[in-house]
Amino acid sequence: MNKIYKHVIADIIRNRIVLFYTLILLLASLSVFSLEDTSSKGLLSMLNIILMIVPLVCLIFSTIYMYNSTEFIELLLSQPLQRNAIWWSLFIGLMTSLGLAFFVGAGIVILIFEPSFLGLMLVICGLLLTFIFTAIALLAAVLTKDKAKGIGLSIILWLFYAIIFDGIVLFMLFQWADYPIEKFMIFISMLNPIDLARILILMQMDVSALMGYTGAIFKDFFGTTGGIAISFTTLILWVMIPFMCSLRYFKKKDL
């Protein structure tokens, strides 16, 4: 397992795309923080990068990587190796390289310019989103044999989580404006990791506005230690469940 993992990491680094991604993140984060006079505006730009760019890059890169290593996987399967170990090491290899890219490119810069709980929250959420969308990419790649379909599926998934889901939620909010749906909204937000990450960061970023009545309900949940713990558990489940599904599928898959 260790050997496969090392090979995956070396392969990804030789690939240069991840290095390029790191560099782009580094450039973007350095420029947003040094161009604005207050760090808060920079944080807002970073929030958008974390919520939009990071999931997109992780999804697309991981999906394509999985398809490109089909032959490598087939080769490995001809050896006396467990399917479990192969899939795990591919996943961990992707997670570490993309996570490292995010941490070096954006995480360190955020922590330097905003050494607070808010900054830490941004970095942790960014890392978790990286892992989640890598796992989702694995699932998308294992579900379809056709490369174009798989990449298409992952793009649709990104569109769904980043934009369409929010549109649906906003529509629901207006349809049921007369009902007390605040607590239901907390549950709904658990169904989308991007939303969940955004709300967790929002709780730290816009404290003053959130002290209003409705805000107070969300604050009572997402602002407390228990709520934060539940949110992070949910985010970790968002990593585990798609990955476990893909693993189960991969084990039975006829290659």
Report the interface residues with other proteins, using CB under 8 A. Answer: 38, 40-41, 44, 47-48, 51-52, 162-163, 166-167, 169-170, 173-174, 177, 181-182, 185, 189, 195, 198-199, 201-202, 205-216, 218
Q: Which of 90/198 has CB closer to other proteins? A: 198
Q: How far is the CB of 90 from other proteins (least distance, A)?
A: 30
* Residue 31, token pair as written in the block: 């420029």
Identity of residue 6 = K
Angle at 248 between CA 242 and CA 254, to 5 degrees: 125
DSSP state, residue 224: S
Question: Using an 8 Å Cβ cutoff, are 42 and 113 in contact?
Answer: yes
Q: How far is the CB of 194 from other proteins (least distance, A)?
A: 8
Q: Which of 110/198 has CB closer to other proteins? A: 198
The single residue listed with the structure tokens 């760019």 is 53
Q: How far is the CB of 173 from other proteins (least distance, A)?
A: 5
Q: Which of 198/243 has CB closer to other proteins? A: 198
Q: Which of 51/132 has CB closer to other proteins? A: 51
Q: Which of 40/224 has CB closer to other proteins? A: 40
Q: How far is the CB of 185 from other proteins (least distance, A)?
A: 5
> Cα(35)–Cα(40) distance, rounded to whole angstroms?
12
> Cα(113)–Cα(99) distance, rounded to whole angstroms?
20
Sign for the pseudo-dihedral over CA of 203, 207, 211, 212: negative
Kindly list the distances between the CA atom of residue 187 and the CA atoms of 121, 196, 226, in Å, as whole numbers in the listed order.
20, 10, 15
Q: Which of 198/250 has CB closer to other proteins? A: 198
Identity of residue 53 = I
Q: How far is the CB of 69 from other proteins (least distance, A)?
A: 32
Angle at 124 between CA 99 and CA 5, to 5 degrees: 25
Q: How many CA atoms lie within 13 A of 42 on its CB side?
A: 22
> Cα(24)–Cα(29) distance, rounded to whole angstroms?
8
Q: How far is the CB of 85 from other proteins (least distance, A)?
A: 38
Q: Which of 156/207 has CB closer to other proteins? A: 207
Q: How far is the CB of 60 from other proteins (least distance, A)?
A: 17
